[in-house]
Amino acid sequence: MNVPLWLWLATIGGLIVLLAIDLVIVDRKPHEVTTGEAAKWVTFYVACAVLFGIGVWVFGGHDPGVEFFTGYITEYSLSVDNLFIFMVIMSSFKVPGIHQHRVLLIGIVLALVMRSVFIAVGAALIAQFVWIFFLFGAILVWTAVSMVRGNGDHDEYNENAVTKWVRKVFPVTEDYVGHKSFVKRDGKRWITPMFVVIVAIGSADLLFAVDSIPAIFGITQDAFLVFAANAFALMGLRQLYFLLGGLVTKLVYLSYGLAIILAFIGLKLFLHALHEYHLVPEWLEINNWMSLGVIVVVLAATTILSLRKAKKDPESVQGPTLELHAKAPEEREAEAKAESGESADSDSGSSSAHGDR
């Protein structure tokens, strides 16, 4: 698909406008995102992605259209698995509910920038070296095996090298200071836990990109479609975080479903590379329609089986509790004082009653 520069600029500009609208409407005032509000925004972003895909289909042809929708569904499904890690991070850092949306917004913008670099590098490598398809395929198969063996499960968040470095270099305040990332105290600049959690979210998504970018390159080698599918999947991710909430932990078979998808795309990459080296006939390559069908069927089956399992065996559902209504430090302090006052009154009343007796 030959994409002119103006279309790249128009797409990037449109995405910036969408983010600006979201920032003005949703983040204008810190608040806890309700399920209804999240559902409306998820619907909005999915509708935007569908309209974009239809435009690709109409003006670019049915092959690019199928590639975009297949790539978008793949990236979105991988993002759902990533939500579990986001939940762990939010729970570990005890992020107040009214600030969680802003954390995700900044973290996802950073992730989009980093993924754009990955996409540019990946596209350049693919254009020059066919053997890169073998490397990408191996990464996906290895990730799939890790998911099946349970190596990707994380019930607790362990700080990575990036967040440890941030804590080592900069002094960190004990509590959150509103939604600020930096504060100045005694003439010295401090960072807040808000900055650390944003770094944690961004660096975690950077690790996710190691398998998600090769996965979509297994579906299409068009850098424009890869970028667009990633962008739309990421933009709807934070609203999906509030919409799904604890439901993510009920998708007990999600990792297995994603492992099948990644292994399938890995096989697709291997076959494509072998065909490029004229080692297998063209008919052995997996076409886009088959890819789309396999991914949709696997995701549907995984979701249905997971929900049935969770209903029959609730104890199998494990994971962090999503504290959408976590309180800010000042709220907790006020409640603590109130409880302390009530306790003091109660003790005073008990002592008085004892003296009367």
Task: Tell me the per-residue pLDDT of 211-222, one tens digit each, with 9 for 90 and over.
Answer: 788 889 999 989
Closest listed residue to residue 39, CA positions, set 247, 276, 198, 307: 247
Tell me the C-alpha distance between 293 and 295, whole Å. Answer: 6
| Mean pLDDT comparison of 13-17, 51-55, 172-176, 198-202, highest-scoring range | 51-55
The vertex-301 CA angle with 81 and 319, nearest 5°, equals: 35
Tell me the C-alpha distance between 295 and 125, whole Å. Answer: 26
Structure tokens at 95: 């992020």
Q: Which pLDDT does position 232 carry in this prediction?
A: 92
Q: pLDDT-based confidence at 245, cuts 50/70/90?
A: low
Q: pLDDT-based confidence at 199, cuts 50/70/90?
A: confident
Tell me the C-alpha distance between 230 and 43, whole Å. Answer: 17
Q: How many CB atoms lie within 10 A of CB 15?
A: 19
Q: Which pLDDT does position 178 carry in this prediction?
A: 77
Task: Tell me the per-residue pLDDT of 246-296, one tens digit each, with 9 for 90 and over.
Answer: 566 677 888 888 899 999 999 999 998 898 888 888 878 888 888 889 999
Q: What's the distance, Cα to Cα, between the start and end of the chain in Å?
A: 91
Q: Which pLDDT does position 18 carry in this prediction?
A: 86
Question: Rounded to whole angstroms, what are the CA distances from 231 to 9, 111, 244, 348?
Answer: 14, 10, 20, 61
Phi and psi based region of residue 29 (left: phi greater than 0; alpha: psi -120 to 50; beta: remaining): beta
The more confident residue out of 109 and 65 is: 65
pLDDT, average across residues 10-37: 79
Q: Which pLDDT does position 248 carry in this prediction?
A: 67
Q: pLDDT-based confidence at 336, cuts 50/70/90?
A: very low
SS3 call for 190: strand
pLDDT, average across residues 90-113: 82
Q: Are 107 and 262 in contact (CB under 8 A)?
A: no
Amino acid residing at 24: V
SS3 call for 29: coil
**For a pLDDT cut of 90, what percent of the chain falls above it?**
22
Task: Tell me the per-residue pLDDT of 58-84, one tens digit each, with 9 for 90 and over.
Answer: 999 999 999 999 999 998 888 877 777
Residues with Cβ within 8 Å of residue 224, at least 6 apart in sequence? 1, 3, 7, 8, 11
Q: What is the number of structural domains in the chain?
A: 1
Q: Which pLDDT does position 94 carry in this prediction?
A: 83
| Alpha-helical runs (H) found in the chain | 5-25, 35-60, 62-93, 100-128, 132-149, 161-169, 193-217, 223-235, 237-244, 254-276, 288-312, 329-356
Question: Residue 158 — φ and ψ, nearest 5°?
Answer: -110, 120
Residue 240 lies in a domain: yes
Q: Are 290 and 239 in contact (CB under 8 A)?
A: no
Q: Which pLDDT does position 127 carry in this prediction?
A: 86
Q: Are 300 and 165 in contact (CB under 8 A)?
A: no
Q: Which pLDDT does position 329 carry in this prediction?
A: 46
Check whether 354 has a pLDDT greater than 80. no
Residue 347 lies in a domain: no
Element (H, E) at 184: strand 182-185
Q: Which residue range(s) make up the domain with 292?
A: 5-333
Residue 186 lies in a domain: yes
The more confident residue out of 116 and 251 is: 116
Residue 299 lies in a domain: yes
Q: Are 63 and 71 in contact (CB under 8 A)?
A: no
Q: Which pLDDT does position 222 carry in this prediction?
A: 92
Q: Which pLDDT does position 9 carry in this prediction?
A: 93
Residue 221 lies in a domain: yes
Tell me the C-alpha distance between 321 and 92, whole Å. Answer: 10
Residues with Cβ within 8 Å of residue 317, at least 6 apart in sequence? 249, 250, 252, 310
Residue 354 lies in a domain: no
pLDDT, average across residues 202-213: 80
